[in-house]
Amino acid sequence: MIPKQAIKGMTLKMLPFADAASDSLPLPKLLRLSLFQISVGMAAVMLLGTLNRVMIVELSVPAIIVALMIAIPVLIAPFRALLGFKSDNYRSAIGWKRVPYLWFGSLWQFGGLAIMPMALLALAGDTEIDAGFFGEVAAALAFLLTGLGMHMTQTAGLALAADRASEETRAKVVSLLYVMFLLGMGFSALIIGTLLRDYSSLLLVQVVQGAAVMTMILNIIALWKQEKMSPMTKEQRAAPQPSFSNAWRDLTKNTDMLRLVVTIFLGTMAFNMQDVLLEPYGGEILGLSVSATTLLTAMWAGGALLGFGLAARWLSAGIDPYRMGARGVIVGVAAFSAVLLSAPLASPTLFYTGAALIGLGGGLFAVATLTAAMTINISGNAGRGLALGVWGAAQATGAGLSIFIGGATRDLINSAANSGLLGNVLQAPSIGYSVVYQIEIIMLFITLIALGPLVRTKSLTSQTRHSLELTDFPT
């Protein structure tokens, strides 16, 4: 007869990420803490997937306004560094640092989602009272609150997980949380897509406000009894803080770091210009339903998970991170080519394949540039946290700008085509989308050019093996 202890040990070994548990953070508490990533992934699906398609196709909101609204949460992402710094130095009578930020982040996220559906209906003019400019203000406020809550919740949650994990398990814990974020996006996309199969304004209100309620439920369960009370000593309060200006000067002395920042910015713009257009493209050009286009987020998340696994394997084999980033860019070229060809070929299968490849290429590029930022040579007062903060700022700024530029380009090209400025041949509803996807392909080739000198510089040095430790991954 097999002893119960042996069965328990064998079961734990078979569970994914079971080795991420430690005495300070047992597996049940770790899995419970990871629920905040599910809520953030659900909000990301609402902002970047479902709502942009509903606003453009069902509510007939101009794509340039939709792009501006969706860019708001992305553009405030650089403030995550400030939020993390504040939670590091938060002074509480009972010693909590992370839980207050988790709590208020959950409130902001809940509030934004709670008022969002009514704000969108007012924005689209679907009301007996003419809201006027108030519709734009209310929608912008809803997106701002939701984005701020997502960033605050995720920053404080990841910091709390890193605090509680042991030195040996910290990288695995944060990797688990990153995977939970992608799983949250995937499952939320499937559920939301199923609920919105038969679209109506009332159903939109119920689904979005239901997501707000689930946010509070998941986050309260996640933060319950997760942080211990540890009041700060007088010495800790009196400790001087390092100068940010000196650290920034030390970091920017490295020309490779500056080139890496430019590469991250260009690559992120290339991969994210389609964020506001992919689902409307499927609905308007390919005639897919709301439920069918929401599945694109699940396809993207699946591709990103595959990219994460390939990156871990290649980095363990000693691949140059810059070369791996180049592979991600090449996959991106194939992805946008597939999306571009899906309209003339009338092939939803090719469209879904392209969406999955966008996730794969973007995931490889993100992990590659993150690893490069973690391993690049820095000196003086500059630290890895600052380098990773610059990585996150460049990525967030590039994503926000590209979302706005993508929506504006689509509207301008379609307006010119419908007015006859581009000739009779180009008077097609797909022309605006096609131009954006072609611009993204061109920018991916420019990103390859920017990566070239970094690869050559790296090839002159000895090859080292890199372990994929996402302790500071700013997701």
Token digits of residue 452: 């070239």
Mean pLDDT of 181-193: 80
Segment 434-461 shows an average pLDDT of: 80
Lowest mean pLDDT among 21-30, 67-76, 432-441: 21-30
Instruction: Note the pLDDT tens digit of each residue in 114-165.
Output: 888 887 777 766 655 566 667 778 888 888 888 888 888 887 787 777 777 7
pLDDT (average), residues 221-247: 69
Please tell me whether residue 48 adopts helix, strand or coil conformation.
helix
Compute CA 151 distance to the chain's CA centroid, rounded to the nearest angstrom. 10
Handedness of CA 201, 204, 210, 213 (dihedral sign): negative
pLDDT per residue over 44-73, tens digit each? Answer: 888 777 777 777 776 777 777 777 777 777
Question: Per CATH, is 244-467 categorized as 1.20.1250.20?
Answer: yes
Q: Worst-scoring range by mean pLDDT, 239-248, 271-280, 354-363? A: 239-248
Tell me the CATH number for domain 28-231: 1.20.1250.20
- pLDDT at position 10 over 70: no
CB 400 within 8 A of CB 75: yes
Measured CA to CA, the distance from residue 448 to residue 85 in angstroms comes to 34
- pLDDT tens for 299-314 read 877 888 788 778 767 7
Domain ranges in the chain are 28-231, 244-467
For 143-175, letters b (16+ CB in 10 Å) and e give bbbbbbbbbbbbbbbbbbbbbbbeeebbbbbbb
Q: How is residue 31 written in tokens?
A: 């899995």
Evaluate whether 28-231 and 244-467 have a shared fold.
yes
Of 365, 341, 361, nearest in space to 351 by CA: 341
Whether residue 463 has pLDDT greater than 70: no
Q: What pLDDT digit, counting tens, does each position of 407-421 carry?
A: 788 888 878 877 777
